[in-house]
Amino acid sequence: MKHLFTAMGLIAFTFTLYSQEMAKDSLEANQIELEEVFVSAIRVTKESPVTFTNLTKEQLKPRNLGQDIPILLNYMPAVVTTSDAGAGVGYTGIRVRGSDATRVNVTINGIPYNDSESHGTFWVNMPDFASSTESLQLQRGVGTSTNGAGAFGASLNLATDAVSAEAYGQISSSFGSFNTLRNNLKFSTGLLNDHIEISGRLSRITSDGYIDRASSELDSYFLQGAFKNKNTLLKALFFGGHEITYQAWYGIDATTLKQDRTFNPSGIYTDGNGNTQFYENEVDNYKQNHVQLLWNQQLNDDWRTNLALHYTRGRGFFEQFKEDDDFNVYGFSPLIVNGETVNTTDLVRRRWLDNDFYGTVFSAEYIKDNLKLILGGGWNTYEGKHFGEVIWAEFAPNSSIRDRYYDDDSEKNDFNVFAKANYKLNDNWGLFGDLQYRTVSYRANGDDTGLVDDTFNFFNPKVGTTFDLNRNNNFYLSFAVANREPNRNDYENGNPKPEKLNDFELGWRYVSTDVQLNTNLYYMNYKNQLVLTGGLNDVGAPLRANIGDSYRIGLEVDATIAIGDEFRIAPNVALSSNKNKDFVFQRDGVLQDLGNTNIAFSPNIIIGNRFSYIPGEKLQLSLLTKYVGEQYMGNIDAEGSVLEAYSQSDFNIQYVIEPSSIIKNITLSALVNNIFNAKYVSNGYFFTYDDTWSVPNQTTTLEGAGYYPQAGINFLMGATINF
């Protein structure tokens, strides 16, 4: 409980600026500019009965010193984040309302970003992408119809850099703990002849990581060409990245956590002299390149259209040293060496993923009088190749270098159409309706999945109402249905079922000159939810399983309060109960009904706060606080699966210098993470297995757990020079 009291105390005595600008003094909807239309079909305003939070580039900027996007979103309501390397660079993860990243639907300019097979989002493939993000919206719950896999916890919609009317150049550099270094260059030509702009960014981030050998070498780019006139906006975007990260996905056990928090078992082996060694190239090496062609057209005063074509090319591998691995895995024949049969070998292997993702998304928007109507949809195809190579082996009979010991293909087609409307009945009441049809076909033939040839057809209706009591108070009520297909890893556990969610949201939004308040109740009722089991597969990906009936119910409150002209406080709290109904588990060889158990990785309380002192336009100081309550890493409420509650606090400062020269300004930033040096763990895994050997004729269920410790106090400092 000491963590909770610490967090509550910090909320009582600390303040900050948070998710919405304080300049607005009412809930009047903003006019959507032409620039915003690429995401307007899937974003919402207070006219829709959806729970959401917006963040702008300016709000991200003070903490954008090289850490991944999930880490930058850590202080949003109901959000929990984690980092494999322990310091926010490399592989990172996010959970919203207890739902992990495979259930958070991510789009970039309205185009799906989640991996089609795993449903995961791997921000490490696009390092420093926050530096090319104009704004983002996080919708909690089902949200509104979007492209890609259905949202089962949240939707995260990102819009990339807007067209700049003025030319600029920017040099940014930051450095910090664990030899972390981030450098980037940005530029824009401004509008040439009032119509054409070219802009871009180059970034490089390196870090040793908090965890041993959990290094990162990350490169990325962003290039945009735009044409703009009164009624037309055309954009061609090219962006992507290349990441090389030393693997850190295995975690450590409880004993090692106490004795050596930074220990990394990845790459460990014993040499011929019996000495413990670590393979130096136990890395993940992946490249991803994106092309987006976007066209928005204002047809007349009532209609505008949006069309996007996209293509993503991804390819890469992770490399592993395997000690005494079985010949049978690789199709090797046994050898006779010095009169003895040899059927194991030390070897180095690479497991490859080579994929293409392409398609189109489209929408048409009609606005007239009291009606706003959007018709849209998308068609997307994913083609993936999965194969493995042995690049070195001590013994490799009947084999040549780079022979593939497995080689399988997969294909996924995803088509959806939707129609949604907002209708103002009068000055107070508004109605909302949203109908989506989605069909998904998936084919795979891997050893892990078996032969898969499935087609799913989903109908996802959403209805709701809003009530504007006055210009300051807005109430909403909604009901939404979402259906979702299994991912590739789910097929490892047999024949998974699609899952269904009924989501009820009830909210109140209040805005005045000095106070913004968002309060909502939600009830999310699931059928055949694919919950995290707590276990991992052989590549560190979380395993899931259908569990029948389950639910999440909660209360979320976030506020932004101005105290005078210089202080801001922005607390948020999420209270929830997350339960599996009548959960059945086989323990000691016998099926047991455990009743209602807690859903894995779903803390009942999450508190965040930010306190800012802003004495003028040039200086901002912020203290950020996060508390995450106790959570279970499995679904059987086992004591060994408990992940303890924790709290952390960060201190952030930004100062702007305006020299009288060709330099427009210099922005200095500093971020001290975990200023109280808390030794906390934000993620882990839990598994059970049956022991049939210790006691004859008796099955005993045993448990195990692993943990991902996060860094103690650490810092990042940087400077951005704007020309």
Contact 487, 499 (CB under 8 A): no
Residue 34 has pLDDT above 70, yes or no: no
Looking at residues 17-34, what average pLDDT do you find?
39
Residue 21 has pLDDT above 50, yes or no: no
Burial 550-586 (b: 16+ CB within 10 A, else e): bbbebebebbbbbeeeebbbbbbbbbbebbbeebebe
> Residue 618 has which token pair?
């040039």
Looking at residues 674-699, what average pLDDT do you find?
88
Residue predicted with more confidence, 237 or 336: 237
- Residue among 536, 381, 378, 361 at smallest CA distance from 443: 381
Residue 25 has pLDDT above 80, yes or no: no
What local confidence, expressed as pLDDT, does residue 23 receive? 40
In which band, very low, low, confident or very high, does the pLDDT at 6 lie, cut at 50, 70 and 90? very low
Contact 422, 402 (CB under 8 A): no
Residue 325 has pLDDT above 60, yes or no: yes
In which band, very low, low, confident or very high, does the pLDDT at 310 lie, cut at 50, 70 and 90? very high
DSSP code for 35: G
Rounded to the nearest 5 degrees, what angle is found at the Cα of 187, between the Cα atoms of 172 and 177? Answer: 15
What would the pLDDT profile of 176-213 be if each residue is shown by its tens digit? 999 999 999 999 999 999 999 999 999 999 999 999 99
Looking at residues 546-566, what average pLDDT do you find?
95
What local confidence, expressed as pLDDT, does residue 338 receive? 85
In which band, very low, low, confident or very high, does the pLDDT at 696 lie, cut at 50, 70 and 90? confident
What would the pLDDT profile of 594-643 be if each residue is shown by its tens digit? 999 999 999 999 999 999 999 988 999 999 999 999 999 999 999 999 99
Distance spanning both ends of the chain, measured CA to CA = 50
The mean of the pLDDT values for the chain is: 91
3-state DSSP call for residue 162? Answer: coil
Looking at residues 304-312, what average pLDDT do you find?
96
Looking at residues 682-694, what average pLDDT do you find?
86
Contact 441, 413 (CB under 8 A): yes
3-state DSSP call for residue 275? Answer: coil
What local confidence, expressed as pLDDT, does residue 586 receive? 86
> Residue 678 has which token pair?
């808390």
Contact 155, 105 (CB under 8 A): yes
What would the pLDDT profile of 214-264 be if each residue is shown by its tens digit? 999 999 999 999 999 989 999 999 999 999 999 999 999 999 999 999 999
Looking at residues 555-568, what average pLDDT do you find?
95
Q: From CA 72, how far away is CA 75, in angstroms rounded? A: 8
Residue 145 has pLDDT above 80, yes or no: yes
Residue written as tokens 């009441």? 429
Superfamily name and number for 2-722 = TonB-dependent receptor, beta-barrel domain (2.40.170.20)
Q: From CA 627, how far away is CA 573, in angstroms rounded? A: 9
What local confidence, expressed as pLDDT, does residue 38 receive? 67
What local confidence, expressed as pLDDT, does residue 689 receive? 84
- % residues pLDDT > 70 (the chain): 95
In which band, very low, low, confident or very high, does the pLDDT at 36 lie, cut at 50, 70 and 90? low
Rounded to the nearest 5 degrees, what angle is found at the Cα of 570, between the Cα atoms of 60 and 523? Answer: 95
What local confidence, expressed as pLDDT, does residue 675 receive? 97
Residue 694 has pLDDT above 80, yes or no: no
What local confidence, expressed as pLDDT, does residue 37 receive? 62
Looking at residues 431-459, what average pLDDT do you find?
94
Contact 201, 224 (CB under 8 A): no
Looking at residues 348-375, what average pLDDT do you find?
95
Residue 167 has pLDDT above 90, yes or no: yes
What local confidence, expressed as pLDDT, does residue 27 receive? 39
Q: From CA 480, how far away is CA 458, in angstroms rounded? A: 13
Q: From CA 458, how far away is CA 481, in angstroms rounded? A: 10
Q: From CA 246, how far away is CA 273, in angstroms rounded? A: 25
What local confidence, expressed as pLDDT, does residue 33 receive? 54
Q: From CA 547, how far away is CA 526, in angstroms rounded? A: 9
In which band, very low, low, confident or very high, does the pLDDT at 396 lie, cut at 50, 70 and 90? confident
What local confidence, expressed as pLDDT, does residue 12 receive? 36
Pairing of strands 344-368, 700-709: unpaired
What local confidence, expressed as pLDDT, does residue 456 receive? 96
**How many other CB atoms are there within 10 angstroms of residue 271's CB atom?**
10
Residue 272 has pLDDT above 90, yes or no: no
